[in-house]
């Protein structure tokens, strides 16, 4: 029984802890919705969630098929704004209608991710299905399998009204700069040089 006794100090800490804060954090309203046409797209689409989490933006993620669950698609798109979402990232392969059909039914910005699926024509059908949207229904289209860039773009949209996210994005840009400059130094150490980088050690 002794192993299950809490010390007085631990009991004091527990009594002072604000469990409402824990509940609020755990069930914080997501600002970005990530949807995809099938579970097979998850390996690519989870990249968007991973990038958003780097900027401390917790997204929601689910499956919405444009062709097999049209009613679910309509309900998701039409209610997204009312549920507090600010951006939707939609990924699909093959006849990739999901991003466009969502964009047709919401005023929220929609970022489309073409996915190179097993039934796609080298991904070109997915790219063109999402890219070639008609006038009046824009979809911001990233590269084939470019879910990570979709996550970054969603964070940049949110950063327009959130200085905390903006600060993290600025730090990320500096991190990218550091990586490239380290590569510049590595190339120079191999004996290659150019006049532009003459001041770099």
Query: How many C-beta neighbours within 10 Å does residue 97 have?
Result: 19
The residues facing 190 across adjacent strands are none
User: The pTM is what?
Assistant: 0.84
Structure tokens at 50: 């991973």
> SS3 of 34, please?
strand
Please write the tens of the pLDDT for every residue from 13-66: 434 444 344 444 345 789 999 999 999 999 999 999 999 999 999 999 999 999
Structure tokens at 111: 């970022």
Please write the tens of the pLDDT for every residue from 105-122: 999 999 999 999 888 899
What does the pLDDT read at residue 198?
73
Q: What is the DSSP letter of 140?
A: E
Q: Kindly give the interhelix angle for 42-54 and 147-159, rounded to the nearest 10 degrees.
A: 30
Instruction: Spell out where the chain has E strands.
Output: 32-36, 60-63, 87-93, 110-115, 140-141
Cα separation, 73 vs 93, in Å, equals 16
């Amino acid at each position: 029984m002794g192993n299950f006794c809490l010390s007085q100090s631990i009991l004091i800490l527990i009594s002072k802890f604000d469990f409402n804060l824990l509940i609020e954090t755990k069930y914080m309203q997501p600002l970005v919705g990530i949807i995809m046409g099938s579970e097979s797209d998850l390996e690519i689409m989870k990249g968007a969630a991973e990038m958003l989490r780097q900027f401390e933006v917790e997204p929601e993620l689910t499956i919405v098929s444009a062709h097999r669950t049209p009613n679910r698609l309509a309900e998701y798109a039409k209610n997204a704004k009312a549920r507090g979402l600010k951006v939707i990232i939609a990924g699909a392969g093959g006849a990739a209608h999901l991003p466009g059909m969502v964009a047709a039914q919401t005023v929220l910005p929609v970022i489309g991710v073409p996915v190179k699926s097993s039934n796609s024509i080298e991904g070109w059908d997915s790219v063109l299905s999402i890219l070639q949207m008609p006038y009046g229904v824009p979809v911001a289209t990233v590269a084939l399998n470019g879910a990570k860039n979709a996550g970054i773009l969603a964070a940049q949209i949110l950063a327009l009204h959130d200085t905390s996210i903006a600060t993290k994005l600025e730090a990320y840009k500096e991190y990218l700069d550091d990586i490239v400059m380290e590569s510049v130094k590595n190339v120079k150490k191999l004996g290659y040089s150019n006049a532009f980088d003459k001041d770099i050690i």
